[in-house]
């Protein structure tokens, strides 16, 4: 079980987090159909390091952008996602 | 056996405070009204407890807060959905290590620290009241289950 | 040393043990050598080892729910009243009928199962019956385990696995550096190797030295855990420990039998030692053929002499320590050393160099002689015990689970830990095993065992090799090598050696199989923790739970929720009660708990903008105090949930959605808000549990609400604030039944007062409580959809018949993808109604076909009946269904063997014009 550094809560066990989707599967609002369809149905799904959306579901609930090596599970960085927030 | 007492306090009058847009000016107004700043991540102060980057759990008088909040955010009643359980006695930290993956035994988890954690499959918000006790905010529907879990677990705590 | 003896039984025989003895030690002490029968061939087996690696001496202990099969006699400390039984024998251990199999072992060679699978199926069925009875371990217990298993988190700077000298030194150094240390030992005693080989360390008796370090660990805030196995290691130094609080089968004093630790460590030090390898020769599995270090353990630690005439067969210097310990205990010893003379520790012992065992002679009473080649000539040595040492295999399991690599140590003929991805290091004999030679297998390959527990012989390996199984991973699966409960701890290296020799390659070239957790077997109970029985998953009790319980409903487990399905009266069945409740709603009034609905308060200047992204219907036009039905699509354009949206204030809305989709909706809203709309001034607050909610439905519902609130009930799809029983409530006029109806939402802390007030009024008006069963009948007849079966995330709004309500201005999530050409296909499935032509019930989930045997064109999503008139109806998904109204097809359920002729209709069977919503 990995330890994930939540920008809001600090180091927490992976069990508190949920992997939601790869970052390249995000469909921007009002995306052109071709863009939306490509994001949803024809992603590269590369072996190696990718950006992913996670959520601290059983903690602060925050969405996180995580850059992770899908082979070694090594996390390069974690960034918060969401509205402007106080420290 | 390590001593811990588990007391269900029931539901309370609680509100969730959320800020939108640029939170700074609103936070300044609120700090003035409350007499202290909105607590930062992982902390509580007085009647206010930080839940997430954009939200706080608040008890006590809402009128002052609502006035200071203005249109900088919302204040929503949520108390019907949370049951409060107080764990006290020298064993409360030890009990919080059961069925959990959070370090409640750390000295850093001191008075007025707040953490939302997973215990026995339930997402629980903890507030350290003092070295002697910790208050848990538990989703009301799961409170019976978690109480049972804590009562059984308390009987098997290691020294 | 006059501690009282401990009473126990083995196969019903009353025996005694000295305090601190394992079952294996106690049995050997009593001269009992035959302890079990082997897995496949029922060969007589004794005790091979003195530790967790034991493949042979497996017993069943305890009784009732505490019965535990396959417990290693070498890893079980005798307690008063222990009741141990041997396994895999009938009618008794010494006269086992299955033992004849050992005479016909050709019956079950390597790959037997696979080959049989390819044969005629009837042959397999014949073999299976025979094999199931013959091959096996102890039977699984059938009763519920009455004990608790704790699961506990722990955090430390340094976790040391293994309390031998190397582990203790690592622990001591860490404590000196100010670290919080966890020291874990699978044995009951710290530093068990010092019990086997007493030594002075740093000027102190080893045991004293060990005790002082343990004390230092404890007093510096750390923990010392004995009887605890580090069963697995995961990412970021996360180690699971399985701690036995009592021995298997014992009754716990405080209810807890084991504790499973989840430890996060800054650094892990593996001082896991090495496991001695057997030598491979014919009949090396006879009782009385034991590992050399194990023999020394029994002699020195447990005070047991397992034999009087002993042959020590070794490939390394360690065997001489055993020889000396045996001689000191009064045994007659001969050493056979595979290496040329001279060796280090030979003084005073009869040593034969260039000597290796070929075959043991003996029977179920044990070994009688060992035949060996000595410098090329065969010689027989009479003996009653063989102590063998084929070198040492470092315990690298946790190192490998940490993503480690292995290096080959030529001098020790062993794999040793190399690099690792994690902060994990290995010390002591696990990193630097003693030098040893490798001696190949000798004697009859059909009787030379490599994997004792799974009965894999040298001949099985050779057969697999001849049949082309060259990769160790394939070989393992084909022969079942290393796949028993001991995971090949003693046998894998001998097998690799054999394969490497056949293939003409080196052992490191042959490679290894994967080391998966657990290191030693872990009780299922330890993995479950307290999540057993009713508590196996969290049970969510709605705020009104106790009120329902007092009315004895039939419960429905709806996801994690406990919800009333019906409130039967007298001897009513579920169906009867459900129908009565539904009819009362149609003719008078009923009330139902709908608290579990998902509810979100959406507030802020940009609330409308947010909601028009999420909802496929218009929200902007909603007047203050009004609400409407709505539904939500995913980014792919398919509808995944539905609900209602209410405008409670100028910038304040309440969004409700389905119970089952509640957490998915919460996630979705936080995604849209947090990621896609981060710049909007809006807050989305989950109030699912804050508000309890009661639906009041039926032609008399407006009358009930008026009486309760002392004001006129709001018109359909309007919301007002009011009070009931002194509690503030939100009163929404909304219907899920087809009748004029209301939802009353209120702070769950007021649950009891509000429920009782509404219940009194409903009953006084001739009404009823109703549960999910009646709710289903009512909504199916009206053609209201449910998320899950009807709205299953595979149809568009158009296909669900909701196209009329879609916000034509667009902007909602999912719009882009609706331009996919596939969606233009009018032969996609669409939601329709069905009515049974002959009145028979339409089986839920059945497929829709033009005739029995034809291709399925859809399925029944919900089955019900006309509440007042009778007659079976259903909702269904059917290809091109919206254009097929009137067509007659079949609902066919092969699993239930039911076929019902149905007519395709509109899904709205009841009051399609919605006239009943008006007062």
Domain range for A72:
3-25+35-81
Question: Which chain C positions have a beta carbon within 8 Å of B124's beta carbon?
Answer: none
Architecture of domain C825-917 in CATH?
Answer: Beta Barrel (2.40)
Please tell me if residue B155 touches chain A, with a CB cutoff of 8 Å: no
Question: Which CATH architecture group holds C444-510?
Answer: Orthogonal Bundle (1.10)
Alpha-carbon gap, residue C811 to C816, rounded angstroms: 9
Return the pLDDT at B60: 85
Domains of chain B: 5-11+81-154 (3.30.1360.120), 14-79 (3.30.70.1520)
Please give the Cα distance from C38 to C52 (Å, whole number).
18
Retrieve residue B141's tokens: 């529907």
CATH number of C1-144: 3.10.20.440
User: In this structure, are residues C549 and C452 in contact, taking their beta carbons and an 8 Å threshold?
Assistant: no
Contact C816 A2 (CB under 8 A): no
> CA-to-CA distance for B40 and B46, rounded, in angstroms?
13
Chain A contacts of C820, Cβ < 8 Å? 33, 37
Cβ of B23 under 8 Å from any chain C Cβ? no
Task: Tell whether A74 lies on the interface with C, counting CB pairs under 8 A.
Answer: yes
Fold observed for domain C545-596+690-778: Gyrase A; domain 2 (3.30.1360)
- Low-confidence spans in chain B with pLDDT less than 70: 1-2, 159
Interchain CB contact of A33 with C (< 8 Å)? yes
A5 to chain B, any CB pair closer than 8 A? The answer is no
Number of residues assigned to chain B: 159
Angle at C881 between CA C877 and CA C886, to 5 degrees: 120
The answer to the question of residue A86 being in a domain is no
Instruction: Please indicate whether, in this complex, the C-beta atoms of C235 and A3 are within 8 angstroms of each other.
Output: yes
Instruction: State the smallest CA–CA distance between residue B41 and chain A in angstroms.
Output: 6
Chains that touch B (3 or more CB pairs under 8 A): A, C
- Residue in B76, B80, B99 closest to C151 by CB: B99
Q: What span, in angstroms and rounded, lies between the C-alpha atoms of C54 and C807?
A: 70
In angstroms, how far is the first alpha carbon of chain A from the final one?
A: 28
Q: Which helix (H) or strand (E) holds C581?
A: helix C574-587
* Tokens at C519, concatenated: 């290191």
Chain centroid offset of residue C57 CA: 27
Tokens 């107080």 sit on residue: B86
pLDDT score at C108 = 65
> Shortest Cα distance from B22 to chain A (angstroms)?
6
Indicate the number of domains in chain A: 1
At residue C718, the pLDDT reads 98
**What was the pLDDT predicted at C119?**
61
What SS3 string covers chain B?
CCCCEEEEEEECCEEEEEECCCHHHHHHHHHHHHCCCCCCCCEEECCEEEEECCEEEEECCCHHHHHHHCCCEEEEECHHHEEEEEEECCCHHHHHCECECCCCCCCCCCCCEEEEEEECCEEEEEEEEECCEEEEEEEHHHHHHHHHHHHHHHCCCCC
Chain A neighbors (3+ CB pairs < 8 Å): B, C
pTM of the model as a whole: 0.94
Which residue ranges make up each domain of chain C? 1-144, 148-274, 278-390, 444-510, 545-596+690-778, 600-684, 825-917
The strand pair at C256-270 and C424-426 is best described as parallel
Q: Which B positions 50-69 lie with beta carbon below 8 A of chain A? A: 51-54
Place of tokens 């394969």: C499
| Domain contains A16 | yes
For chains A and B, CB pairs below 8 A equal: 61
Tell me how far apart the alpha carbons of residues C586 and C735 are, in angstroms, rounded to a whole number: 12
Distance CA C78, CA C28 (A): 13
DSSP string over C871-918: -EEEEEEEETGGG-TT-EEEEEETTTTEEEEEEEE-S--S-TT-GGG-
Query: Considering the domain boundaries, does residue A30 fall inside one?
Result: no
d(CA C591, CA C579): 14
Residue C713 per-residue DSSP state: P
Phi-psi sector, B120: left (phi>0), alpha (psi -120 to 50), beta:
left
Is the sign of the CA dihedral C564, C568, C571, C572 positive or negative? negative
The angle formed by the CA atoms of residues C907, C913 and C918, to the nearest 5 degrees, is 130
Strand partners of residue C691: C747
Please report, for chain A, how many H helices and E strands are present, in that order: 1, 6
Q: Nearest residue on chain A to B121, judged by CA atoms?
A: A58
Distance of CA C20 to the CA centre of its chain: 34
Which whole-number Å values give the CA distances from C467 to B1, C457, C835, C842, in the listed order?
61, 16, 62, 55
For residue C729, CA distances in Å to C311, C544, C725, C847 come to: 89, 16, 10, 44
For the purposes of burial, counting CB atoms within 10 Å of the CB of C600, is it exposed (0-12), middle (13-18) or buried (19 or more)? buried
Asked whether the ipTM of the predicted complex exceeds the cut of 0.90, the reply is yes
Report CA-CA distances (Å) from B93 to A16, B144, B150, C181, C525. Answer: 19, 20, 12, 19, 24
Residue C490 CB coordination number (10 Å): 27
Report the CATH number of the C600-684 domain: 3.30.70.1400
Among the residues of C421-533, which ranges form H helices?
458-466, 472-479, 492-503, 507-510, 524-528
- Nearest one of C579, C617, C587 to C738, comparing CA atoms: C587
Positive or negative, the CA dihedral C165, C171, C174, C176 is negative
Two tokens at C2?
């006059």
CB contact under 8 A, C259 and B158: yes
Q: Are C596 and C543 in contact (CB under 8 A)?
A: no
CATH number, position A52? 3.30.2270.10
A7, A27, A69, best to mutate vs chain C, most C CBs in 10 Å: A27
Which ranges of chain C have pLDDT less than 50? 103-104
Q: What CATH architecture does domain C278-390 belong to?
A: 3-Layer(bba) Sandwich (3.50)
CA distance C416 to C400: 10
Residue C458 CA to residue C441 CA, distance in Å, equals 7
Q: How far apart, in whole angstroms, are the C-alpha atoms of residue C694 and residue C680?
A: 33
| Architecture of the C148-274 domain | 3-Layer(bba) Sandwich (3.50)
Q: Hey, is the C-beta of A23 within 8 angstroms of any chain C C-beta?
A: no
End-to-end CA separation in angstroms for chain B: 6
Residues of chain C whose beta carbon is less than 8 angstroms from a beta carbon of chain A are 234-236, 238, 262, 264, 403, 421, 613, 635-636, 667, 670-671, 673-679, 811, 813, 816-817, 819-820
The answer to whether the beta carbons of residues C163 and C206 sit under 8 Å apart is no
Is residue C285 within 8 Å of C359, Cβ to Cβ?
A: no
Euclidean distance between CA atoms C679 and A84, whole angstroms: 8
How distant, in Å, are the alpha carbons of C89, C96, C455 from that of C101? 12, 10, 12
Paired strand residues for C830: C878
Q: Is C643 helix (H, G, I), strand (E, B) or coil?
A: strand
Q: In a 10 Å sphere around its CB, with 0-12 CB exposed, 13-18 middle and 19+ buried, how is residue A1 labelled?
A: middle
């Amino acid at each position: 079980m990995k330890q994930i550094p939540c920008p809001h809560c600090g180091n927490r066990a992976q069990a508190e987090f949920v992997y939601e989707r790869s970052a390249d599967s995000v469909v921007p609002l009002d995306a052109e159909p071709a863009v939306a369809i490509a994001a949803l149905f024809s992603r590269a799904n590369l072996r190696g390091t990718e950006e992913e959306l996670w959520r601290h579901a059983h903690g602060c609930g925050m969405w996180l952008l995580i850059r992770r090596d899908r082979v070694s599970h090594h996390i390069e960085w974690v960034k918060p996602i969401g509205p402007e927030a106080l420290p | 056996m390590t001593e811990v007492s588990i007391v269900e306090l029931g539901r309370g009058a609680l509100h969730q405070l959320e800020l939108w847009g640029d939170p700074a000016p609103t936070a300044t107004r609120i700090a003035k009204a409350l007499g202290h700043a909105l607590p930062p991540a992982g902390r509580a102060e007085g009647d206010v407890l930080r839940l997430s980057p954009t939200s706080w759990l608040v008890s006590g008088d809402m009128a002052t807060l609502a006035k200071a909040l203005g249109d900088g955010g919302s204040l929503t009643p949520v108390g019907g959905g949370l049951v409060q359980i107080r764990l006290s006695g020298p064993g409360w930290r030890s009990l919080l290590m059961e069925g959990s993956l959070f370090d409640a035994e750390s000295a850093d988890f001191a008075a007025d620290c707040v953490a939302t954690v997973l215990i026995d499959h339930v997402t629980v918000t903890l507030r350290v009241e003092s070295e002697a006790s910790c208050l848990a905010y538990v989703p009301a529907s799961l409170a019976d289950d978690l109480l049972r879990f804590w009562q059984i677990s308390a009987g098997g705590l290691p020294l | 040393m006059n501690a009282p003896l401990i009473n126990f039984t083995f196969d019903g025989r009353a025996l005694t043990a000295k305090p601190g003895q394992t079952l294996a030690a106690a049995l050997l002490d009593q001269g009992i050598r035959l302890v079990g029968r082997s897995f496949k061939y029922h060969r007589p087996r004794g005790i091979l080892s003195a530790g967790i690696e034991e493949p042979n001496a497996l017993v069943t202990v305890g009784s009732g729910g505490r019965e535990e099969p396959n417990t290693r006699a070498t890893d079980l400390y005798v307690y008063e009243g222990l009741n141990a039984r041997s396994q895999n024998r009938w009618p008794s251990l010494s006269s086992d009928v299955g033992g004849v199999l050992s005479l016909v072992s050709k019956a079950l060679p390597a790959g037997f199962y696979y080959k049989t699978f390819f044969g005629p199926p009837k042959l397999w069925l014949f073999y299976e019956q025979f094999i199931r009875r013959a091959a096996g371990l102890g039977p699984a217990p059938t009763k519920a385990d009455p004990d608790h298993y704790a699961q506990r988190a722990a955090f430390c700077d340094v976790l040391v696995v293994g309390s031998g000298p190397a582990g203790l030194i690592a622990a001591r150094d860490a404590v000196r550096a100010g670290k919080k240390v966890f020291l874990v030992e699978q044995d009951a005693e710290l530093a068990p190797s010092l019990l086997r080989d007493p030594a002075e360390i740093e000027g102190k008796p080893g045991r004293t030295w060990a005790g002082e370090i343990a004390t230092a660990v404890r007093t510096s805030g750390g923990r010392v855990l004995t009887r605890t196995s580090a069963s697995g290691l995961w990412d970021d130094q996360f180690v699971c420990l399985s701690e036995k609080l009592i021995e298997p089968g014992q009754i716990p004093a405080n209810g807890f039998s084991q504790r499973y630790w989840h430890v996060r460590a800054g650094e892990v030090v593996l001082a896991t030692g090495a496991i001695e390898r057997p030598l491979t020769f014919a009949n090396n599995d006879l009782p009385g053929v034991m590992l050399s270090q194990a023999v020394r353990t029994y002699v020195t630690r447990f005070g047991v002499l397992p034999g009087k005439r002993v042959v020590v067969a070794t490939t390394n210097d360690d065997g001489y320590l055993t020889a000396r310990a045996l001689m000191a205990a009064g045994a007659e010893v001969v050493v056979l050393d595979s290496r040329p003379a001279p060796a280090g520790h030979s003084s005073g012992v009869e040593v034969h160099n260039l000597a290796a065992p070929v075959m043991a002679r003996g029977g179920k009473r044990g070994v009688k002689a060992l035949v060996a080649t000595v410098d090329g000539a065969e010689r027989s040595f009479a003996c009653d015990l063989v102590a063998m040492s084929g070198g040492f295999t470092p315990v690298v399991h946790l190192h490998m689970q940490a993503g480690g690599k292995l290096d080959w140590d030529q001098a020790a003929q062993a794999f040793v830990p190399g690099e690792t991805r994690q902060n994990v290091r290995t010390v002591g004999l696990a990193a630097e095993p003693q030098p040893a030679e490798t001696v190949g297998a000798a004697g009859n390959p059909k009787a030379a065992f490599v994997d004792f527990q799974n009965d894999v012989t040298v001949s099985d390996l050779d057969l697999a090799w001849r049949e082309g199984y060259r990769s160790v991973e394939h070989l393992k699966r084909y022969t079942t090598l290393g796949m028993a409960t001991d995971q090949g701890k003693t046998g894998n290296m001998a097998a690799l050696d054999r394969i490497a020799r056949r293939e003409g390659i080196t052992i490191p070239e042959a490679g290894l199989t994967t080391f998966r957790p657990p290191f030693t077997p872990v009780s299922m109970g330890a993995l479950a923790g307290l999540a057993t029985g009713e508590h196996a998953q969290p049970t969510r009790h709605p705020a009104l739970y106790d009120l329902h319980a007092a009315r004895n409903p039939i419960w429905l487990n709806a996801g994690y929720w406990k919800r009333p399905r019906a409130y039967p009266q007298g001897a009513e069945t579920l169906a009867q009660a459900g129908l009565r409740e539904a009819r009362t709603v149609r003719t008078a009034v009923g009330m139902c708990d709908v608290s579990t609905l998902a509810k979100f308060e959406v507030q802020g200047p940009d609330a409308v903008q947010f909601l028009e992204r999420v909802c496929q219907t218009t929200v902007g036009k909603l007047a203050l105090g009004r609400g409407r039905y709505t539904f939500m699509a995913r980014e792919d354009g398919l509808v995944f949930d539905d609900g209602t949206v209410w405008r409670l204030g100028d910038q304040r809305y309440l969004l409700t959605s389905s119970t089952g989709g509640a957490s998915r909706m919460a996630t979705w809203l936080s995604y849209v808000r947090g990621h896609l709309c981060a710049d909007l001034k809006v807050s989305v607050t989950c109030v699912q549990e804050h508000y309890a909610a009661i639906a009041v439905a039926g032609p008399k519902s407006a009358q009930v609400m008026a009486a309760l609130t002392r004001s006129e009930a709001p018109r359909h799809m309007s919301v007002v604030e009011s009070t009931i029983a002194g509690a503030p409530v939100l009163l929404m006029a909304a219907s899920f039944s087809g009748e004029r109806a209301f939802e009353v939402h209120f702070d769950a802390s007021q649950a009891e007062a509000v429920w009782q007030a509404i219940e009194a009024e409903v009953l006084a008006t001739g009404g009823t409580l109703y549960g999910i069963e009646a709710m289903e009948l009512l909504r199916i007849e009206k053609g209201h959809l449910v998320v899950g079966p009807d709205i299953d995330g595979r149809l568009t709004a158009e296909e669900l018949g909701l196209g009329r309500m879609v916000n034509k201005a667009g902007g909602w999530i999912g719009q882009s993808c609706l331009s996919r050409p596939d969606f233009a296909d009018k032969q996609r499935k669409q939601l329709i109604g069905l009515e049974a032509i002959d009145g028979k019930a339409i089986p839920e989930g059945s497929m829709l076909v033009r005739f029995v045997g034809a291709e399925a064109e859809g399925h029944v999503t919900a089955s019900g009946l006309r509440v007042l008139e009778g007659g079976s109806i259903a909702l269904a998904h059917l290809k091109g269904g919206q254009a097929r109204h009137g067509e007659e097809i079949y609902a066919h359920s092969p699993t239930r063997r039911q076929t019902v002729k149905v007519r395709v209709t509109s899904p709205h069977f009841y009051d399609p014009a919605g006239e009943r919503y008006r007062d």
